[in-house]
Structure 1
Amino acid sequence: MAADTLSLQGKVAIVTGSGRENGIGAGIALALARNGASVVVNYMSQSTKDRAANVAETLRKAGGQAIVVQSAVDTLEGARHLVKQTLEGFQTDHIDILVNNAGTAFFCPITEEPNVEQLAKVFQTNVLGPFYMVHAVVPHMPPGGRIINISSTNSKRGNAKISTYAASKAALDNLTWTWADELGRSKGLTVNSVAPGPVKTDLYPEGQEEELMRPEVALTRAADRAGTPADIGDAVLLLVNEKSRWITGQYIGVNGGVTY
């Protein structure tokens, strides 16, 4: 009997917000590509164009296929554009894996004057973005397809300085549970949330990373350290594999044991 593998040969994947080399999205994209998937590296802002190209080159050097697509995911038009470019770029009629990783946060304690535009952007990107992407991808996703929503420990623990971000991730967890039901029996898809804890990425204000991560690092059980993009990527790799066919609708903390 042949040994089980984590091969994703022949699979097509989209990882939204994967255009920064030090980001969680890039770590996920690398894990999928090195195991045979054809991966779309997605970025939104023109300022990260070169970084996205670097990520794609890293994926190719790891043995995977990769294309780069600039597209916002916080509008239905942007989501549909990303799906269209994926199908055309890989000359395929199917998308097997969607990782809703793109997200944003703004530090705004409730006692400070709110920036209404920033607050709206958090929910537009973190909640409606995944909604639009799932809507656009599902018609092209065959049975056995995998949808992974990147959540956060903040969805369970809250966060006084970025309460809107925490609330948006709680909403995403609810969507995960609902979509698992809606897309499971009818279409044969699984939907799960992966919740990182502290991972040093561009999400944190420059120079404040260690200070802001310290409280949650102190709660880790696996090791006394922050997580890495590779930690998250390897967990997603397990969940998108065929062997995870009976796991759906779950909040899976990939955070060293900060949440349960």
Structure 2
Amino acid sequence: MPDFKGLDLTGKTAIVTGASRGIGAAIAIQLGQRGANVVVNYTNDKSERKATEVVNKIEAAGSRATLCQASVANVNDIPKIVDAALRLSQTGKIDILIHNAALGVDANLEDVTQELFQTHFDTNVKGPIFLTKAVIRHISRGGRVVFVSSAAARLGVAGQTVYGATKAANESCARVWAKELGQSHGITVNCVNPGPVATDQWQESDEQFRQDMQPLIESTPAAARIAEVDDIAPLVAFLCSEDARWTTGSVLCANGGLYN
């Protein structure tokens, strides 16, 4: 008989930031389908309905889920996320932390403002650093931390001066934390790096930007298309599993081969 127990997440407690839509929603649902209990984080009232739909899908799969409205960019909100996970946990521990929440406003260098810089680094870099710091004391050995990075961290995409820099910072954190938290805490830290993905954020991006991206999309080795969220979520779930125990400090290609 086939044995896939190494991929089972039953009883694990997971936090997924920015989980009301897009990649974050797909990851939260995927973890729930594999048995994890999930904190579905969202930032504002207009996202609550979609976040509730994610919770309902997780519960329909037989797992437990809870909503948590909080902004990772605000360090004062971080205890809300941690407390929600501890209330949900059946063991008093947090097992999985997915850093998905991110801002990604495109701006050429000449259009970069201090506000754009600050908001992106607060959400994409400061938030994950201080959320991880708050969660570490509650993660048991065998815990998993996964960043949703981006091919923009390495590919060099026009208009992504700030966004690309934040994602490169995420990948750097993963490499550093893999060393700091490995033998001492038994935690693995990894990234996945999607390219263009068919999400609301993609649809809301500048039309010129999408046109400029078309040659890149057509050159994607795996297929001449952008990704779907279900191309990404299973890779994140794998990195959360026991089968991924020997993978840490890595960036898993999730962009069809645009950049490894």
User: Match of 1:117, SS?
Assistant: helix
Give the letter aligned to residue 19 of structure 2. Answer: S
The residue aligned with 1:198 is 196
Measure the CA separation in 2 of the matches of 1:129 and 1:108.
21
TM-score (norm 1): 0.93
Give the letter aligned to residue 74 of structure 1. Answer: A
| Match among 104, 120, 123 for residue 122 of structure 1 | 120
1:97-135 deviations in Å (ceiling 9; x for gaps):
0000000022211123x3321221001111111101110
Give the letter aligned to residue 41 of structure 2. Answer: N
Measure the CA separation in 1 of the matches of 2:37 and 2:259.
32
Following TM superposition, the consecutive aligned residue runs of length 4 or more in structure 1 with deviations greater than 4 angstroms are: none
* Alpha carbons 2:19, 2:101 under 8 Å: kept: yes
Give the letter aligned to residue 120 of structure 2. Answer: V
Q: How does 1:5-84 map to 2 (within 5 A)?
A: 5=5, 6-20=7-21, 23-84=22-83
- Structure 2: 5+ residue runs without aligned partners? none
User: Match of 2:211, SS?
Assistant: helix
User: Match of 2:35, SS?
Assistant: coil
User: Match of 1:68, SS?
Assistant: strand
Measure the CA separation in 1 of the matches of 2:104 and 2:206.
16
Measure the CA separation in 2 of the matches of 1:152 and 1:215.
18
The residue aligned with 2:96 is 97
Measure the CA separation in 2 of the matches of 1:107 and 1:122.
11
Q: Which deviates the most, 223-232 or 121-130? A: 223-232
The residue aligned with 2:166 is 168
* Alpha carbons 2:148, 2:192 under 8 Å: kept: yes
**How far is 1:215 from its partner?**
3.4
| Match among 140, 143, 158 for residue 141 of structure 2 | 143
User: Match of 1:147, SS?
Assistant: strand
Q: Which deviates the most, 89-98 or 164-173? A: 89-98
Measure the CA separation in 2 of the matches of 1:253 and 1:75.
30
The residue aligned with 1:237 is 237
**How far is 1:211 from its partner?**
2.8
- Closer, same or farther: CA 73–92 of 1 in aligned 2, 3 Å: farther
- Closer, same or farther: CA 92–46 of 1 in aligned 2, 3 Å: farther
| Match among 165, 180, 183 for residue 182 of structure 1 | 180
User: Match of 2:193, SS?
Assistant: strand
The residue aligned with 1:217 is 217
Identity among equivalent pairs (%)? 39
* Alpha carbons 1:74, 1:132 under 8 Å: kept: no
- Closer, same or farther: CA 211–11 of 1 in aligned 2, 3 Å: same
* Alpha carbons 1:213, 1:226 under 8 Å: kept: no
Greater helix fraction, Structure 1 or Structure 2:
2
Measure the CA separation in 1 of the matches of 2:206 and 2:176.
38
